Amino acid sequence: MSRSRHGLKGQHISSIPQDDVTQKVIVLEDKLKDLEKCFDGLEQDIAGILKTRSQKVSATILPVEQIWKCCKCGLRLGVYDPQVDLLRVRYKDFYAYFKAGEGGFTKVICRSCSHINQVNYIDKDK
């Protein structure tokens, strides 16, 4: 059954009164216009989300901060700010081990390859 030759109910177009065909075409055009409006709205929403997300990512990491990557696979583990001596790690399923003070360390398990990454605390004043 070809769409160009048959109506919505499988009838041949020549057997449907012309007014009915015209009315169905008008209804379909209206529905198509509504779909196009929805699609345009979705495109604008997606563009806005991507713009907001890129602004958040670029605003999060300052030039003085250093990205801490996994030693084995290079996945980003966190961000270190040397000015305030602060390591930021954020993830929903997160495991870390810390030992504070002199001889202290931070261990984070990579979510990609399970490698245990360790950063040792070094006192700058000594």
H/E stretch holding 69: strand 66-69
Residue 8, Cα to own-chain centre: how many angstroms?
40
Predicted pLDDT at 111: 81
Q: Is the pLDDT of residue 56 over 60?
A: no
With vertex at residue 76, the alpha carbon angle to CA 73 and CA 81, rounded to the nearest 5 degrees, is 135
In whole angstroms, what is the distance from residue 67 CA to residue 121 CA? 17
Spans of all domains in the chain: 13-60, 66-120
* Higher-pLDDT residue of 11, 82: 82
Can you give the pTM of this predicted structure?
0.41
Average per-residue pLDDT in the chain? 76
Predicted pLDDT at 8: 53
